[in-house]
Amino acid sequence: MTHSAELSLARPRWQRELAEAINRPEELLAALGLPAELLAGARAASRLFDLRVPRGFLARMRHGDANDPLLRQVLPLGDELDEAQGFVSDPLDEAAARRAPGLLQKYQGRALLIATEACAVHCRYCFRREFPYSEQVDSGGPRWSAALEAITRDSSIEEVILSGGDPLSLSDARLTQLTDAIGHIAHVRRLRIHTRQPVVLPSRVDAGLLTWLGGTRLPVVMVLHANHPNEIDPEVRAACAALKSAGATLLNQSVLLKGVNDDVEILQRLSVALVEAGVVPYYLHLPDRVRGTARFDVAEETARALLDALMARVSGYLVPRLVREVPGAASKLPVSL
- Of 121 and 264, nearer to ligand SF4 (C-beta) is 121
Does residue 288 touch ligand SF4 according to CB under 6 A? no
- Of 17 and 185, nearer to ligand SF4 (C-beta) is 17
Closest separation between CB of residue 292 and ligand SF4, Å? 13
Closest separation between CB of residue 123 and ligand SF4, Å? 3
Give the footprint of ligand SF4 on residues 50-79 (CB under 6 A). none
- Of 254 and 271, nearer to ligand SF4 (C-beta) is 254
Closest separation between CB of residue 143 and ligand SF4, Å? 18
- Per-residue mark of binding to ligand SF4, 217-236 (x: CB under 6 A): --------x-----------
Kindly determine how many residues on this chain lie close enough to bind ligand SF4 according to the rule CB under 6 A. Answer: 11
- Of 164 and 229, nearer to ligand SF4 (C-beta) is 164
- Of 144 and 296, nearer to ligand SF4 (C-beta) is 296
For ligand SF4, which residue of 72, 99, 196, 228 counts as binding (CB under 6 A)? 196
First to last CA, the chain: 62
Closest separation between CB of residue 235 and ligand SF4, Å? 18
- Of 105 and 254, nearer to ligand SF4 (C-beta) is 254
Give the footprint of ligand SF4 on residues 105-164 (CB under 6 A). 119, 121-123, 126, 128, 164
Can you give the binding site for ligand SF4, defined by CB under 6 A? 119, 121-123, 126, 128, 164-166, 196, 225
